[in-house]
């Protein structure tokens, strides 16, 4: 969980799992674990977008029925809220999948010759 929440290396716990907003660094700077061997992909992206988008729609509906603000209030409040949750959730989701693959020593299936 710490690796997912804080972007820590699953082997040594050092910071630096990510090189960009949601892209992994090539390897850990402390222990040298190669992050490119893990196949996390963009699995969490669709799930997070759907769940957080539904949450944003519920909040927008609640705002419309209870406060009825002008349209720009939705843009100022829900835009950054939704974008921030998706980016943070994507980082946490990808880090959790990488940590799970490391813990289970998951890899591509290779047929025995």
C-alpha angle 110/40/14, rounded to 5°? 110
Tens digit of pLDDT for each residue in 24-60?
Answer: 889 998 998 888 888 877 778 888 889 999 999 999 9
- pLDDT for res 56: 95
Q: Which of 26-40, 60-74, 78-92 has the highest mean pLDDT?
A: 60-74
Distance CA 40, CA 22 (A): 11
3-state class (DSSP) for residue 4: helix
Distance CA 44, CA 113 (A): 34
- pLDDT for res 99: 87
**108 pLDDT exceeds 70?**
no
**111 pLDDT exceeds 60?**
no
Cα 90 to the chain's mean position, in Å?
2
pTM assigned to the model: 0.77
Percent of the chain with pLDDT over 90: 33
Tell me the three-class secondary structure of 32-99, residue by residue: CCEHHHCCCCCHHHHHHHHHHHHHHHHHHHHHHHHCCCCHHHHHHHHHHHHHHHHHHHHHHHHHHHHH
């Amino acid at each position: 969980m710490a690796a997912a929440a804080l972007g820590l290396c699953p082997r040594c716990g050092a910071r630096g799992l990510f090189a960009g907003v949601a892209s992994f660094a090539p390897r850990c700077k402390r222990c040298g674990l190669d992050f490119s061997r893990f196949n996390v992909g963009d699995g969490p992206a669709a799930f997070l977008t759907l769940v957080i988008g539904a949450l944003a729609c519920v909040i927008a509906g609640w705002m419309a029925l209870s406060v009825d603000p002008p349209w720009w209030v939705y843009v100022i409040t829900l835009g950054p809220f939704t974008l921030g949750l998706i980016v943070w959730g994507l980082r946490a989701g990808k880090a959790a999948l990488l940590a799970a693959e490391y813990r289970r020593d998951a890899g591509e299936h290779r047929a025995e010759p």
